[in-house]
Amino acid sequence: MSLQNLILNLHKFWAGQGCYLAPTYDVEVGAGTMTPDTFFRVLGPRPWRTAYVQPARRPTDGRYGENPNRVQKHHQYQVIIKPSPADIQGIYIESLKACGIDLRDHDLRFDEDDWESPTIGAWGVGWQVMLDGLEISQFTYFQQAGGLEVSPIPAEITYGLERLEMFIEGKDDIYDLQWSDDVTYRDLRLAEEQQFSDYNFNRASIKGLREQFGLAEKEAQQLIEKRLPLPAYDQCLKCSHYFNLLDARGVISVTERVKMIAQIRTLVNQVARVFVTPAAGAEGAV
Amino acid sequence: MEFLLEINVEEMPLAHVRTALEDMTERLKKELAAAKIAADGLRTYSTTRRLIFTGDLAAGQPDRDELMTGPPKAAAYTADGTPTPAALGFARSKGVDVSALQVVKTERGEYVGVRKAVKGRSTADILAAAVPQAVLSLSFPKMMRWGTGSLRFSRPIRGFLCLFGGEVVKFSMEGLSSGDRTTGHKLHTPEEIRVRSFEEYRTKLRDLFVVVDAEERKAAIQAQIKALVAPVGAELYPDPALLDKLANDVEAPFVVMGSFPESFLQLPIEVLSTAMREGQKLFSIVRRGKQLPLFLGVADVVGDPKGFIRAGHERVLKARLADARFFWEQDLKAGLQKRAPRLKQVLFQEKLGTYDDKAQRLQKIVAYLCGKIETCKTAKELGVAAGLCKIDLVTEMVREFPALQGTMGGLYAEAEGFPRPVVRAVAEHYLPVSVDDPSPASLEGAILSLADKLDSIVGVVGLGIQTTGSSDPFGLRRNAQGVCKIVIDKKLSLPFERLLEKIINVYGDRLKLPKAEILAHLREFFAGRLRYLLDREGIRYDLINAALGAGIDDLYRAYLRAKALDAFKSSPQFEPMILMAKRLTNILSGQMASPLNPDVFVEKAERELYAMFSLIKDNVVPMIAKGDFVQAQKIVFRIQPALTAFFEKVMVMAEETRLRKNRLALLQAIRKTLTPIADYAQVVVEGEKAKK
């Protein structure tokens, strides 16, 4: 089964569970969790079901296309089901079967791994799902986002698409995966990995990135004051991306990391607050 | 009758399972004890998906007679003894004939009443309330909610099986009703089963490959491991914490052995075992201390007939090891020393500068420490190590496996041909990471670790950043405990105040607070950490106070004083000596110091006390200097009979000033000899406790 068929199977399965299939978001993010389709939808009381593919950029994971397992951009399949149903683990297991995995011959484990994203003030409780020692998904009961308690509680399932596909195809090299029947992952992504690795690690302007971080931070602040949480949040995502690039350039220490993450989190928490409390007379939150 | 409760949950971590079993048992026992039902025999079992409680309990509370009183006698009967409507109404309300009423005397006068046999509540009824109560009372370090519910628990609860004497104990919480059913293994044998007893529960689950006893699973894992490693003449690289975790995590333990390409054996064993343990939770296999290209994994399955699980682990491990080897080679190629300039770009703390600044400070601090520690003969090597020790933070390997910081620095230093003392100092300078960790084995490691930890503590405290309650972002408490542990383990007597002052000077104008204020903060901070460590060793708080009261500038000596007090606390001389010391303190309070003149003594008892004191003093002073407080205490305790005789026979507050001053001077001299051993007045003795 090709990667694109895997995506189609997951789409079909989760659409069958009542999920709205969201388009991929168009701002760089490090994880599917960070896109507005998750971040804003888990806030507030309204039940919500969504599923989507989201490219996740992690500059430090780049390996110039030379490592068979690591890439600076991979693809996540993100599912949010709110509130979490009682048999959500069972539904997840069914989704794996729908992808053609016969679990009778394998060891599937829900291994303690509480998820936390200090950048967006979010944390949850859950597991990494291991299939014969391979981490294929992250399974989380969201407890907080943007520094706010969420209620009802959403279940978040994030599949690592490349990982899962390598398992399905039995391949050892990510670049050997079939995206479709006649296009390989190599065809699509190798040049991108080579060039972006060079950019992320060696070329990105440190001074420029610090400036852009500062500009986006200021912009976010202004937009929060204007009570425009949706565009403000985009600026927070940009801050996060510039931070990740600076990190790949190796210029952020442990303590500076804490400080910059706190800067972004403070903004994101303000965004969340503005989002859930519409100004008097304004239209309700999305 | 038998009680059986299974709380069915989504996968709970081991630490939470342990807490739940303990706290729930305690809570159930308490609730049952309050209802007068003995519950000593409660046993617990568990898997990551089941919390199980079982044991024999009495069927119910014993029946008892209860006296219920009604209206006063005067209102209950007319003068001729006819029952009034009040009496009739009371009898009716209690369900008895009016003739059954009797007159009872109470403090308030005579009343009518009725004695009635009351049936005890059944244990099932009590359990139906107690079990949900107990579940609600459980608390975990991190708690969660799920769905639309409000219950906070470790992980979502998915069902209750609750039986007493084979019948369902009915209750419901969070939309779940208790029943007599559970299911087998979630993935491999998901059949529903119905049970009447624990034995049936255990047997039926075993038929579905679920073993409910963690100890039994652990034994099964160990037996399977043994059977796999024995034929290859190897043994497991022990990892008890991993074994406990895996025994919790699987319901159907099945051990898989696999291999990885021998070429990876060129990696250090520390790297190999870390790469295997983290992520895939695999055990390493060794033969005579040497790593073999094999691993053991514990799966939650009935078997692996097609070898998919083994092959899956092999593929993942190969990729991880390939990654580790890539890091190892990259790091070696880049070289440790050559990367040193990169530390200039890595901030240690915004105001305290970069790691390069820190490395420079460490070089000065280790030089100072080396000068203060006689046994240190490697000042030059330590200086080199101080410059190198933080560079591994910018290596690929430490970026990937942060737990290997320090270890990698040591390995890379070794690969670059640095001498042994340098390598060990770098490798060990983070130890101990927690108080349960060992201190550095080498003196060089100990000195560099002290320098690093003290540098961080002084810097952060010097900026006025408070460490309070739950907030300790820089891990200062852990660092300070490490400092205490190292000076204790390595028997290092150091003048702390001067050392800290030296470090403050090394920081120059980077620190915000004035020197005196920083030192005051640090004094209190270190006293608190030493107190914590002594408390962990089970030493009484008042003995700790007495030991620290005698001075904390030298942490190691303060520790030795506490240990000496602890060693004597049960000796017969202890209490009389403490009382004597307290008497000394009381009598001397507010007295001016006076000169001692042996020629002024007139009484026999005071002469004898002086003679005894002179002898003891000569012996004890060198003991104290050596830090042998046990011996010193043994000797000073010998003064007690002479001191007692003195107090009995001699009038201290004599009328004659000359005599009085001289007697006080003798007592002052004795006290002065005692104070460096302990501030005995702070010890609480039995008599005092009773008074309080």
Summarize pLDDT for A64-105 with one digit per residue, the tens.
999 888 899 999 999 999 999 999 999 999 999 999 999 999
Please check whether residue A49 lies inside any domain of the structure: yes
Q: Count the Cβ atoms, other than its own, within 10 Å of residue B230.
A: 10
Please check whether residue A64 lies inside any domain of the structure: yes
Confidence of residue A286 (pLDDT cuts 50, 70, 90): very low
**How close does chain B come to A83, measured CA to CA in Å?**
5
Highest-scoring range by mean pLDDT, A185-189, B233-237, B436-440: A185-189
> Which of A179, A200, A221 finishes a domain?
A200
Cβ distance of B319 and A68 shorter than 8 Å: yes
Confidence of residue A254 (pLDDT cuts 50, 70, 90): low
Write down the H helix ranges in B284-392.
Answer: 308-334, 336-339, 355-372, 379-388
d(CA B414, CA A87): 54
For the segment B565-580, what is each residue's pLDDT rounded down to a tens digit?
A: 999 888 888 888 888 8
Please check whether residue A283 lies inside any domain of the structure: no
What is the model's pLDDT at position A282?
52
For the segment B313-372, what is each residue's pLDDT rounded down to a tens digit?
A: 999 999 899 889 989 998 999 999 899 988 888 888 888 999 999 999 999 999 999 999
For the segment B243-301, what is each residue's pLDDT rounded down to a tens digit?
A: 999 999 999 999 999 999 999 999 999 899 999 998 899 999 999 888 999 999 999 99
Confidence of residue B692 (pLDDT cuts 50, 70, 90): very low
What is the model's pLDDT at position B252?
97
Nearest to B257 by CA among B301, B310, B217: B310
d(CA B52, CA B5): 6
Instruction: Give φ, ψ of B590 to 5 degrees.
Output: 80, 0
d(CA B617, CA B597): 16
A283 pLDDT higher than 90: no
**How close does chain B come to A253, measured CA to CA in Å?**
5
For the segment B610-639, the average pLDDT, to the nearest whole number, is 91
B39 pLDDT higher than 90: no
Residues from chain A that touch B10, judged by Cβ atoms under 8 A, are 89, 110
Please give the structure tokens belonging to residue B622: 């060198």
DSSP for residue A283: P
What CATH number did the domain enclosing A182 receive? 3.30.930.10
For the segment B626-642, what is each residue's pLDDT rounded down to a tens digit?
A: 889 999 999 998 998 89
Could you say which of B146, B280, B301 has the minimum Cβ distance to residue A133? B280
What is the model's pLDDT at position B577?
87
| SS3 label, residue B227 | helix
Q: Is the same domain home to A119 and A26? A: yes
Instruction: Give φ, ψ of A141 to 5 degrees.
Output: -95, 105
Task: Calculate the average pLDDT of chain B.
Answer: 92
Residues from chain A that touch B299, judged by Cβ atoms under 8 A, are 107, 132
Q: What percent of chain B has pLDDT over 90?
A: 66
Please check whether residue A281 lies inside any domain of the structure: no
Q: In angstroms, how far is CA B676 from the centroid of its own chain?
A: 31
Q: Is the same domain home to A186 and A212? A: no
Confidence of residue A284 (pLDDT cuts 50, 70, 90): very low
Nearest to B465 by CA among B506, B535, B537, B518: B518
| SS3 label, residue B474 | coil
Contact A129, A115 (CB under 8 A): no
Cβ distance of A259 and B350 shorter than 8 Å: yes
**How close does chain A come to B287, measured CA to CA in Å?**
25
Could you say which of B11, B309, B322 has the minimum Cβ distance to residue A110? B11
Cβ distance of A135 and B279 shorter than 8 Å: yes
Q: Is the same domain home to A75 and A53? A: yes
d(CA A130, CA A211): 41
What CATH architecture does domain B349-536 belong to? Orthogonal Bundle (1.10)
What CATH number did the domain enclosing A247 receive? 1.20.58.180
d(CA B382, CA B426): 9
Contact B66, B116 (CB under 8 A): yes
Q: Percent helix, strand and coil across chain B, each rounded to 5?
A: 55, 15, 30
Interface A–B counts its CB contacts (< 8 A) at: 124
What is the model's pLDDT at position B437?
86
Cβ distance of A132 and B145 shorter than 8 Å: no
d(CA A253, CA B354): 8
B689 pLDDT higher than 70: no
For the segment B151-195, what is each residue's pLDDT rounded down to a tens digit?
A: 999 999 999 999 999 999 999 998 999 999 999 999 999 999 999
Q: Is the same domain home to A160 and A196? A: yes
B688 pLDDT higher than 70: no
Could you say which of A68, A172, A251 has the minimum Cβ distance to residue B345? A251
Q: Which residues contact B90 (CB under 8 A, 6 or more apart)?
A: B70, B71, B76, B101, B112, B114
Residue of B nearest to A83 (CA): B147
Please check whether residue A100 lies inside any domain of the structure: yes
A255 pLDDT higher than 70: no
What is the model's pLDDT at position A30?
96
Residues from chain A that touch B306, judged by Cβ atoms under 8 A, are 105
Positive/negative CA dihedral, A90, A94, A95, A101: positive
Contact B678, B546 (CB under 8 A): yes
Confidence of residue A187 (pLDDT cuts 50, 70, 90): very high
Cβ distance of B347 and A255 shorter than 8 Å: yes
Q: Is the same domain home to A182 and A213? A: no
Please check whether residue A285 lies inside any domain of the structure: no
d(CA B342, CA B359): 12
Residue of B nearest to A135 (CA): B279
Chain B contact present for A135, CB below 8 A: yes
For the segment B374-417, what is each residue's pLDDT rounded down to a tens digit?
A: 899 999 999 999 999 999 999 989 988 998 999 999 999 999 99
**How close does chain A come to B218, measured CA to CA in Å?**
18
**How close does chain A come to B298, measured CA to CA in Å?**
9
Could you say which of B145, B147, B316 has the minimum Cβ distance to residue A133? B316
Residue of A nearest to B15 (CA): A112
Residues from chain B that touch A64, judged by Cβ atoms under 8 A, are none
> Which of A174, A200, A226 finishes a domain?
A200
B691 pLDDT higher than 60: no
Q: Is the same domain home to A253 and A223? A: yes
Q: Is the same domain home to A30 and A143? A: yes
**Domain span at A170:** 3-200
Q: Which residues contact B221 (CB under 8 A, 6 or more apart)?
A: B243, B246, B247, B253, B255, B298
Q: Percent helix, strand and coil across chain A, each rounded to 5?
A: 45, 20, 30
A185 pLDDT higher than 50: yes
Q: What percent of chain B has pLDDT over 70?
A: 98
Which of A217-226, B262-271, B678-687 is predicted with the least confidence, judged by mean pLDDT? B678-687
DSSP for residue A172: S
Could you say which of B13, B147, B346 has the minimum Cβ distance to residue A112? B13
What is the model's pLDDT at position A281?
54
Confidence of residue B132 (pLDDT cuts 50, 70, 90): very high
What is the model's pLDDT at position A33?
95
Q: Is the same domain home to A189 and A209? A: no
Q: What percent of chain A has pLDDT over 90?
A: 88
Q: Is the same domain home to A215 and A180? A: no
Could you say which of B146, B312, B354 has the minimum Cβ distance to residue A132? B312
> Which of A178, A200, A222 finishes a domain?
A200
d(CA B384, CA B398): 21
Cβ distance of A133 and B10 shorter than 8 Å: no
B507 pLDDT higher than 60: yes
Please give the structure tokens belonging to residue A254: 């442990």
How many Cα atoms are found within 13 Å in the side-chain-facing hemisphere of B319?
22
Number of domains in chain A: 2
d(CA B14, CA B691): 46
Confidence of residue A285 (pLDDT cuts 50, 70, 90): very low
Residues from chain A that touch B346, judged by Cβ atoms under 8 A, are 250-254
Could you say which of A108, A111, A172 has the minimum Cβ distance to residue B315? A172
Between B691 and A186, where is the model more confident? A186
B239 pLDDT higher than 50: yes
B472 pLDDT higher than 90: no
d(CA B283, CA B291): 11
For chain A, what's the residue count?
Answer: 286
Please give the structure tokens belonging to residue A65: 């296309």
Cβ distance of B309 and A132 shorter than 8 Å: yes
Touching B: A residues 148-207, CB under 8 Å? 151-153, 155, 167, 172
d(CA A66, CA A198): 12
Q: Is the same domain home to A213 and A193? A: no
Q: Count the Cβ atoms, other than its own, within 10 Å of residue B118.
A: 11
What is the model's pLDDT at position A2?
96
Q: What is the three-state SS of B483-546?
A: HHHHHHHCCCCCCHHHHHHHHHHHHHHHCCCCHHHHHHHHHHHHHHHHHHHHHHCCCCHHHHHH
d(CA B221, CA B207): 18
Strands A48-57 and A20-21: parallel
CATH superfamily of B556-691: Isoleucyl-tRNA Synthetase; Domain 1 (1.10.730.10)
Q: Is the same domain home to A103 and A158? A: yes
d(CA B105, CA B389): 87
Q: Is the same domain home to A187 and A229? A: no
Dihedral angle computed from the Cα positions of residues B35, B37, B43 and B47, in that order, rounded to the nearest 10 degrees: -40
Cβ distance of B322 and A67 shorter than 8 Å: yes
Cβ distance of A133 and B318 shorter than 8 Å: no
